[in-house]
Amino acid sequence: MSITGKSAAVVNFSEAKGSVEIREISIPEIGEEDILLEVENVGVCGSDLHQWTSDHSWPVNYPVVLGHEFGGRIAVVGDRVTGWKVGDRVVSETAAVINPQNPMSKVGLYNLDPTRKGFGYGVNGAMTRFVRVPARCLHRVPDGLSFEEACLTEPCSVAYNAVAVNSHIKPGDRVIVIGPGTIGILCAAVAKICGGDVAILGLEKDRGRMEIAKSYGVTPIVNDASEWARKTDGLGADLIIDAAGISDTLKIAMDLVRPNGQITKVGWGPTPCNFSLDSLVQKNVRLQGSFSHNWPIWEKVIGLLSSGTLDVKPIIGGVWPITEWREAFEKMHSGEVVKSVLKPV
Ligand SMILES: [Zn+2]
């Protein structure tokens, strides 16, 4: 069976700033190992905004349909796909194209396969009604979990990888998250689940988003976290999660971390830094990058979402039809909402 026709899509059509518009695109044909997904909801990611404003640092395969945080129902199943049927409720991982022979893929870290291509920049993403998805990317969504929440499995998995996999966190650890965007707030929420005493650092303009962070039991701090970092024994926080979208915040992280502590950098930006890394050495600090996520992380996160242990409802600022993508993008870009969610038309 196949489905033919056209549907509206949010398309990023060139490198130039602001090159996003609604276009009618053909419903994709699928391969033998793919399924065709009918999208229910798709989250807007900071990276979608970066491609819109053209300040991204990754290669984009223009024109491309945006959107990599999505869930929906299986509409068509490829001939060689087993274990899935039409109507199944699923979310999809983001690594749309990987090389299974790459040594990183072979150890299950296909998110670190340098040839990996993701939805929304490498191949067409989900800000449209139908998207082609390799069956290996799928995870089942339990009935009790709404698609509006389930589509945020992806950013939750980014946070889970940064905090629970790539950082060593113990109950009682004092943790500071830099940057109250979606990833920052979710990192703070995961650090709380891990038993941390958690603060989140932002700027004056972030106050609205910091209020939302408070609903996760996180202490909001505006501008300077030095006092909070040093308030127990004067030495600094055990773990700093740097989730700001620039590289310069590493300097703040190096200042706030205690000797023998850890910094995990999950936020990134292409501008080079202009400061010394000496305190990293002098304090014997471990600096860890964190990128993307893989299969076991998704399974854990879906479990946390469906049990209610991790609740994404506080960060969802609204749901817009994809034809109103601009308003959804602008509200997130200005920081008025933490996360915008779209619905295909
Ligand atoms: Zn994302």
Q: Find the 71 Cα to ligand 1 centroid distance in Å.
A: 13
pTM: 0.96
Q: Find the 46 Cα to ligand 1 centroid distance in Å.
A: 6
Q: Taking residues 177-192, what's their average pLDDT? A: 97
Asked whether residue 68 falls in the same domain as residue 23, the answer is: yes
Question: With 80 as the cut, is the pLDDT of residue 1 above it?
Answer: no
List of residues 6+ apart from 224 with CB closer than 8 A:
none
List of residues 6+ apart from 101 with CB closer than 8 A:
none
Q: Is residue 252 part of a domain?
A: yes
Cα 254 from Cα 45, distance rounded (Å): 27
Q: Find the 288 Cα to ligand 1 centroid distance in Å.
A: 20
Asked whether residue 172 falls in the same domain as residue 152, the answer is: no
Question: With 80 as the cut, is the pLDDT of residue 2 above it?
Answer: no
Cα 343 from Cα 320, distance rounded (Å): 6
Asked whether residue 297 falls in the same domain as residue 154, the answer is: yes
Q: Find the 217 Cα to ligand 1 centroid distance in Å.
A: 24
Confidence at 198, pLDDT banded by 50, 70, 90:
very high
Phi, psi of 135 (to 5 degrees): -60, -30
Asked whether residue 217 falls in the same domain as residue 323, the answer is: no
Asked whether residue 270 falls in the same domain as residue 302, the answer is: no
Q: Taking residues 135-153, what's their average pLDDT? A: 98
Could you tell me how many helices (H) and strands (E) the chain has, helices first? 11, 16
Asked whether residue 191 falls in the same domain as residue 303, the answer is: no
Q: Find the 207 Cα to ligand 1 centroid distance in Å.
A: 22
Domain boundary among 247, 273, 289: 289
Q: Find the 187 Cα to ligand 1 centroid distance in Å.
A: 14
Please give the helix or strand (H or E) that residue 171 lies within, else none. Answer: none
CB 201 within 8 A of CB 181: no
Asked whether residue 22 falls in the same domain as residue 146, the answer is: yes
Single-letter code of the amino acid located at 292? S
Asked whether residue 208 falls in the same domain as residue 280, the answer is: yes
Q: Find the 153 Cα to ligand 1 centroid distance in Å.
A: 10
Q: Is residue 1 part of a domain?
A: no
Which residue range forms the structural domain that includes residue 305? 6-158+293-343
Asked whether residue 308 falls in the same domain as residue 224, the answer is: no
pLDDT in tens, 11-43: 999 999 999 999 999 999 999 999 999 999 999
* The two three-digit tokens of residue 104, written as one number: 């990183």
Strands (E), the chain: 6-12, 20-26, 34-43, 64-65, 69-77, 89-92, 130-134, 138-140, 174-178, 197-202, 219-222, 237-242, 257-265, 286-289, 316-321, 339-343
Task: Provide the number of structural domains found in the chain.
Answer: 2
Query: Measured between alpha carbons, how far apart are the two ends of the chain, in Å?
Result: 22
Asked whether residue 71 falls in the same domain as residue 171, the answer is: no
